[in-house]
Amino acid sequence: MSLHNKIQYLKTQLIDLNQLLEKVGDHPLMAEGLKERIEMIEDELKSIPLESFEPSLQFLFSGDAVLGSQGIKSTFLSKIMPPLEGLVKTQLAFNKYGKVGRRGRARKSSNAELFLTALPKGSFGIELSRLDFDEEDLYDIVDTSDAMKDVITLIANTTGSDQLFESTIETTPKRNLNNLKRFLQEVSNEKSILKMDSGNVHIELSKEKIDKAASRVSFALKEDNEIFITGTFRGVLLDSNRFDILDDEGQQISGSISHDLDEEQLIEYDKKFLNKYCRIHLRVYKTKFKTLNERTDYELLEIVEI
């Protein structure tokens, strides 16, 4: 049970117990027992932390995706699980080595697997959890939890305004746009609402919002291709996961670093090519939005001698 759901469950119990206390009045036995129970629940609520780092995600669906609270379509699950897993894995890698690289941990690929750990009801849904943690990484659980919350926020922001969606995409791993598109389209196809929980984060999206989000993402056309350019390598920033180069025309090109490049390789690039003319392998992402706005992003793949 997520932190949000636990709090809501305890609050519901308090309401029911207080209503029952009003009915029993001053009954010598029942009133005393109810008061003790109410005090216990109030104490439990006060002891619950404001933030939780549970490495699990819960999704509840409706419409054609489920049969009431009895079950969920296996075909629907087979379609949404790959993009969901992709969203979390990509966001986790981004959080570990993009935004929080300053912790000084070695860059390495994130092979986090998600496990189906529960089938929550009301209507019906799934719970995905991370179970195989890196014992050498003290932050692994927290990073996973943060990545799951970021995925929920990404999905929710997609249902907001065009401006909110575009600003969110600017800080979202580029590979996640297709995952987001696939997931929202499948939920929309099943005429479903979407309830999402992870730790203290809880968001509910109506069918209308899901349809709007799916349409918005489908219009956000992403093209990516690989190019080779020659220019002067100006260095990498490990903490922010960024690189800088000057092309042959003196134009500055900045972007993110592929997570396939480990820290040792990047340090070697810095020693060997800093402020030197070289051949640079890039992936170029071009995103066109429904508002006709466009943006171009670069990802460093490799540097070689000319």
Same domain, 210 and 66: yes
Tell how strand 56-61 and strand 124-130 pair up. antiparallel
Same domain, 43 and 151: no
Same domain, 159 and 87: yes
- Report pLDDT for 1: 64
Which of 196, 219, 242 terminates a domain? The answer is 219
- Report pLDDT for 239: 79
Same domain, 43 and 60: no
Lowest mean pLDDT, pick from 53-57, 203-207, 237-241, 296-300: 237-241
Residues linked to residue 118 through DSSP beta bridges, in sequence order:
127
Q: What percent of the chain has pLDDT over 90?
A: 57
Same domain, 116 and 180: yes
Q: Which residue has the higher pLDDT, 278 or 52?
A: 278
Q: Specify the amino acid at residue 44.
A: E
Tokens of 169: 């995409």
The domain spanning residue 235 has which CATH number?
Answer: 2.40.50.140
Taking residues 246-265, what's their average pLDDT?
Answer: 91
101 band by pLDDT with thresholds 50, 70 and 90: very low
Tell how strand 252-257 and strand 294-304 pair up. parallel
Helix (H) or strand (E) holding 302, with range, is: strand 294-304
pLDDT tens per residue across span 212-222 = 999 999 888 77
103 band by pLDDT with thresholds 50, 70 and 90: very low
Same domain, 64 and 155: yes
pLDDT higher than 50, residue 11 = yes
- d(CA 302, CA 1) in angstroms, rounded, equals 44
Phi and psi at 151, nearest 5°, equal -65, -40
Structural domain of 30: 3-47
- d(CA 195, CA 65) in angstroms, rounded, equals 13
Taking residues 55-75, what's their average pLDDT?
Answer: 95
pLDDT tens per residue across span 218-240 = 888 778 899 999 999 999 998 78
Same domain, 208 and 114: yes
What is the total count of domains within the chain? 3
pLDDT tens per residue across span 259-284 = 788 889 999 999 999 999 999 999 99
User: Which residue in 260, 240, 257 sits closest to 297, CA to CA?
Assistant: 257
Give the contacts of 58 (CB within 8 A, at least 6 positions apart).
2, 5, 118, 120, 125, 126, 127, 195, 196, 197, 198
pLDDT higher than 90, residue 122 = no
Same domain, 232 and 273: yes
Same domain, 267 and 284: yes
98 band by pLDDT with thresholds 50, 70 and 90: low
Same domain, 71 and 119: yes
- C-alpha to C-alpha distances, 17 to 3, 9, 39, 158, 190, nearest whole angstrom: 21, 12, 11, 40, 39
Question: Please, what is the angle between helix 140-158 and helix 207-219, to 10°?
Answer: 90
Residues linked to residue 235 through DSSP beta bridges, in sequence order:
244
Which of 219, 248, 264 terminates a domain? The answer is 219
- d(CA 69, CA 12) in angstroms, rounded, equals 20
Collapsing DSSP to helix, strand or coil, 212 comes out as helix
Taking residues 105-112, what's their average pLDDT?
Answer: 54
Same domain, 77 and 200: yes
Which of 219, 244, 276 terminates a domain? The answer is 219
Is the peptide bond between 258 and the residue preceding it cis, with omega within 30 degrees of 0? no
172 band by pLDDT with thresholds 50, 70 and 90: confident
- C-alpha to C-alpha distances, 223 to 10, 63, 203, 289, 298, nearest whole angstrom: 48, 33, 30, 12, 12
Same domain, 208 and 69: yes
- Report pLDDT for 206: 97
